[in-house]
Amino acid sequence: QVQLVESGGGSVQAGGSLRLSCAASGFSRNYMGWFRQAPGKEREGVASIYLIGGTTSYADSVKGRFTISQDNAKNTVTLQMNSLRPDDTAMYYCARGLWLRVAGAGPPLSPADFAYWGQGTQVTVSS
């Protein structure tokens, strides 16, 4: 059974940084991603990565500020978040992909393409 456990959330002032980690049980060969959901809003893809090859995808709103990476030895995926803004405030979720690969240049960012989800970690950015 796949289990995903997020850590690293917290509160920070605008302009600050946080680093989220996702520890995954079980061997994975496809892709993983980070999503976020603010109150009253739909869950949106933030970043994703193919575990073989390392190709990444980012939402336009986080390009240049967030970086997704993997540590295969530790079976973890991290999300480094810099230059945080108040509108980055949300519950952040780690997820593992549903398919082996998808069409297109990079891994997907749609929740429908992910099968397993963590419990989430809260990120709060104050102005």
pLDDT tens string for the chain (127 positions)?
789 999 999 999 999 999 999 999 876 789 999 999 999 999 999 999 999 999 999 999 999 999 999 987 778 999 999 999 999 999 999 999 998 888 888 999 999 999 999 999 999 999 9
Residue type, 5: V
Residue 53 makes CB contacts below 8 A (sequence gap 6+) with none
Identify the pLDDT of residue 85: 98
Strand 90-97, strand 76-81: pairing: unpaired
Q: Which residues pair with 122 in a beta bridge?
A: 91
